Structure 1
């Protein structure tokens, strides 16, 4: 495992950030640490077909009090997109834990958006020593909560997707009457999809499905004994927001529905999302 520095990367409207490329099992994994090195750590894990840039609006809201680490999972963003490596949720979690080890993070609150919440859960299963608590944002608890849609994956002959297909795919990620996403940031997020290979795109989708088929997230989390916050935009068009109540099976879980927001509260209303995360993180620091 090796690491290199690259401070040139930042998302739209973001301040310059430290950017590092770590070599794990022969594949490059891109991470962005921000904020004071001695502050409590927050690890932010993006969802499928996204990247570290999906968290860009949140970073300046979190770094005054926390060290914020973002990671591009294998197949996404600036990380490698190999055909011969595993995209299984357990392997994504293993690499994530190894990345934290390399940059010297020993304990962290793990935050996952959408399928990133599955990776966060798998990390807590594999590395309970590393995970202080978990916060899941619009992460469906099981496949029965999935809202049936047209296939999100264009046929192989159509890859990469057309601009029209991309905008159609992205539309379900936000409330139809919610907050406007800055156009520049939206285009960067669409570029993240354009930058994926068909193999990495479909493999990550199938891996999430397989992980949920094996066992629903509330069942996995209930036996871990980790504090849990669940945030869910009420207008989610990918997962039924009513399914958030399934997480109440986890002892002590806090579930908060966010009216007026869709599948991506971190982009639709960063201040409200950050406030909830910071309040939760503060309770963990006081434990």
Structure 2
């Protein structure tokens, strides 16, 4: 016998029938939401991976790389055909690979390796490791990792001290050496700008460094140039990126290296073919001190009229041509 259904029963039955449909709808919506979130997540991962890949490919295309070394990684930029004679360019105190940009066109047929010294540019900036001999050993390790077996090594200012130390350590690697406005001895130093002197003054210098601005850095660079030069923003940015320790420790190391033994005496003992380029109006080193290098056997001294401490920027055409000719002349046969 059928049970009679009352209106109340019908309402109750309707709610009972409807109750299971809500969870099914919720489950379907949750499933669609999860699928959407997973899809978005994969897209984010793929996009991020593609961005990293593009950046890596761009860096490789431009020849930039980081060489991993104990105690601090080193930023390197390579240009030119790998099979051509290799020329290694080492910047000076507070410099970076950007300081060589103006002479790159003249060196385009060479394999050019530019290196940021420890504490400079894109290289690591640890608390220690700034001695000239230590910097030189690090350059040698970088070149070994790059597969460079023989090279002409060029150094500007303090970079010339590092190049000299590398030549002392690695007779197997350095075929010839070129120095650009590298002071030959400690007492030939003329001095820095007022701002630069303050920066190297204990306590006061550290405060000034913390408060440094682009304008302050440009003032400190004033003695680096005699001719009017438009200083690229990249050079200012690289200096801003230095730590106070990396700046002062490198400066102290350079002075100690010169006091230990003049660079011409070091070169004379090596017997390497040597090119010296010096600005006749250098405001940091006595221009007449360039004559010290004439006592180095196999040395050629080029004095550039109207040029100051940074021939790469003040006369890039002449400087680039001299470096190119020297690298070709001294390349291993």
Q: Scaled by the length of structure 2, what TM-score is found? A: 0.78
In structure 2, the partner of 1:57 is: 102
Q: Which one of the candidate residues 137, 151, 167 is aligned to 1:94?
A: 137
In structure 2, the partner of 1:156 is: 206
1:7–1:20 CA contact under 8 A, matched in 2: no
Provide Cα deviations, 1:27-54, integer angstroms capped at 9, x if missing partner.
Answer: 1101011110100000000000010010
2:89–2:112 CA contact under 8 A, matched in 1: yes
Provide Cα deviations, 1:53-90, integer angstroms capped at 9, x if missing partner.
Answer: 101121222022x100000010000000011x310000
In the superposition, relative to structure 1, how do residues 51 and 220 fare at CA in structure 2: closer, same or farther (>3 Å)? same
In structure 2, the partner of 1:13 is: none
Q: Which of structures 1 and 2 has the bigger CA Rg?
A: 2
1:7–1:19 CA contact under 8 A, matched in 2: no
2:86 is the alignment partner of 1:36 = no
2:68 is the alignment partner of 1:23 = yes
Task: State the Cα distance separating 1:9 from its structure 2 match.
Answer: 5.5
In structure 1, the partner of 2:48 is: none
Q: Distance in 1 between matches of 2:58 and 2:198?
A: 32
In structure 1, the partner of 2:222 is: 171
Find the residue that maps to 1:27 and give its secondary structure: coil
2:175–2:332 CA contact under 8 A, matched in 1: no
> Unaligned stretches of 5+ in structure 2?
1-54
Task: State the Cα distance separating 1:198 from its structure 2 match.
Answer: 0.4
Q: Distance in 1 between matches of 2:248 and 2:116?
A: 16
Q: Distance in 2 between matches of 1:286 and 1:79?
A: 30
Find the residue that maps to 1:36 and give its secondary structure: coil
2:130–2:250 CA contact under 8 A, matched in 1: yes
Q: Distance in 2 between matches of 1:286 and 1:87?
A: 31
In structure 1, the partner of 2:285 is: 239
Q: Distance in 1 between matches of 2:57 and 2:99?
A: 18
In structure 1, the partner of 2:27 is: none
Query: Cα RMSD (Å) of the superposition?
Result: 1.8
2:276 is the alignment partner of 1:230 = yes
2:182 is the alignment partner of 1:136 = no
In the superposition, relative to structure 1, how do residues 7 and 113 fare at CA in structure 2: closer, same or farther (>3 Å)? farther
In structure 2, the partner of 1:283 is: 329
Task: State the Cα distance separating 1:7 from its structure 2 match.
Answer: 5.5
Provide Cα deviations, 1:205-258, integer angstroms capped at 9, x if missing partner.
Answer: 000001111000001110001000000011110001110000111112100100
Q: Distance in 1 between matches of 2:198 and 2:157?
A: 15
> Unaligned stretches of 5+ in structure 1?
11-15
Q: Distance in 1 between matches of 2:221 and 2:229?
A: 13
Q: Distance in 2 between matches of 1:140 and 1:7?
A: 40
Q: Distance in 1 between matches of 2:93 and 2:189?
A: 14
1:152–1:169 CA contact under 8 A, matched in 2: no
Find the residue that maps to 2:255 and give its secondary structure: helix
Q: Distance in 2 between matches of 1:122 and 1:137?
A: 15
Q: Distance in 1 between matches of 2:291 and 2:57?
A: 41
